Structure 1
Amino acid sequence: MSSHIHIAILDDYQGVALELADWSNMQSKASIDVYRDTIHDEDQLAKRLEPYTIYITTTGFVNRSIDMVAAAAKGIIVTGTGGYGDPTLEHIWALFFEVARSIAVEDKNVKNANPQWQTLIPIGLSGKTLSLLGVGRLGGKTAKIAKLFGMRVLGWSPNLTKERAEAAGVELAESKEDLFKQADFLSIHLVLAPSTRHLVGKAELAALKPTAFFFNTSRGPIVDEEALLDTLYNKRIAGAGLDVYDIEPLPLNHPLRKAPNVVLTPHNAYISDDNYKAWWSGTAQNVSNYLEGKELRAILNGKE
């Protein structure tokens, strides 16, 4: 091993990686560069990263953004960290509430001295149908909370069985079309894979009621973005809440930024102060272990 290691921290948008962990014990062995921007061009990115031995991406112990087969072929160790809490679940419900109760709109009205005191009627949750496209860990937890508000919960995915649906406490929809047709709130909880890319397209979105709300906190390409844009701009549904996109960061001139009746967040559902502290502390420890020649917990095929 070289006596001096070059480390690149990628996509540290808030510039907090070096503040939330103790990197001091490796200063004599390594130099760290922090990148707060994102390069989409693969050739430019490869050129930027060429001098580095260690690349750090903010993630836990599940990572589907790295080509594990290629990494294994080159003898590259891919490791991860633990997290803390369940910020994605919290964010899912923050988006539900924000969209249903038009909080940002009314906040803007009050601050801008709109003479009309109340402008919109919030949407109540009790008795509404929450349709979950995917009922895994997050989908199941989302369902439990929905029932606290008196919501009916439907679920469907290509592999969801009646037994698994019952175990999660949700009704199994007859089909994907049925899931969308019955939804007052439709929320995606699937992983991105070749089988789920554009699983939601023009036909699925057209099946939603004009009063329905659409949410995606999973991965952007699960949804046909052009079909979603067409749906939003033509106001075929009541609104949407999105945290993920085809291209991230979302280009400044992207039409979603001006789409009507949509709440957008910058793929930060997984972020919280405690989760970041756990991740960055674990990351610093992983780097320290590597520099000291200690064994690392490897991720294989996208999982620990």
Structure 2
Amino acid sequence: MRHAAANIECLVKGGLCSHIAPTPNIMPLSESPPYTEAWLTGPLNTRLYTRTYKAETPIAVVVFLHGAAEHAGRYTEMHNRLAQGNISVFVFDLRGFGRTALDKVNKSKDAAYGRTNSEWQLDDLEWAIEHVQAEFSDLPIFIMGASMGGGLVLGLMCDEKRRTHKPTMAVRGVITGSPCIAIPRHIPKFVLWIASGMAMFIPYSIYPIRNKNKDLSRNPVTNAQYLTDPLIHTPGSLRGILDMLGMGARLLSTTYVNWPKDLPVLFLHGTADLITSYESTKALFNKLPANDKDMIAYQGAYHELHNEPDGVREKALADIVAFIDSHLC
């Protein structure tokens, strides 16, 4: 989201698209994928594309939320490794993204790329937790998100009303990676004012500018794959991006006080992140009134820790497993 400011400025000059066409030719699955797929009906009767990675002898289950512009399939290796480490994973393409929005054959009739907002996303997260409770009734539940998803898992727990809902209270711990609390580039107030006004009339118009793939990680292979992935487009719609930025701003300024004090949380962030602000994540971590909290900074690492070279992705995975393992009881 480093270029969200530039995208918003484009609104003043025009160039918004009304939609992104569904994708008829979705990337083929591998012959023996390490997960099971299902189209499940979520809130608002929306069909959500889901994957479940089942560990042979699971000790916990993770509900995972991906970031803006992307989809669950970008975390296959990471989720498979968690399952191999006895941690099951449930992940879905978020409303407005991935197959949930673009699969021409299976998506809901009214689903479209970028058609989302933070309230719908939080409803979907609570639904996912309830689903996992039913599927893995005896396992401790952790929620984890990356980038936009990292902001959502924090936002759920800092929502004064939602934090007392039955699904939310079942969460054993939270892991947030490179969360979108803020972006490194300053967005002028007048630009946000104009964008907010436009969102009242054309909320789901799509930003015309994609993230720069070279800013995602220091891994040229995964950066190149980002450009050719048919499920990846811009960071989303006017409403979706404004909601994402607004949630991050509220977390840092006001809603952080609602964090359940006894709920453990782990923050992960690269110090050289060009997409979301490392400094803002550190500021939120320092403010959060959690009795059990930890933040791990990866020196020189970019935004996508799960794709970073030089041992970063391996260390990040080990840090996630260690956090879960230490909070099973």
Q: Taking structure 2 as the reference length, what is the TM-score of the superposition?
A: 0.34
Q: Taking structure 1 as the reference length, what is the TM-score of the superposition?
A: 0.36
Task: Determine which structure has more spread, i.e. the larger CA radius of gyration.
Answer: 1
Bigger share in helix: 2
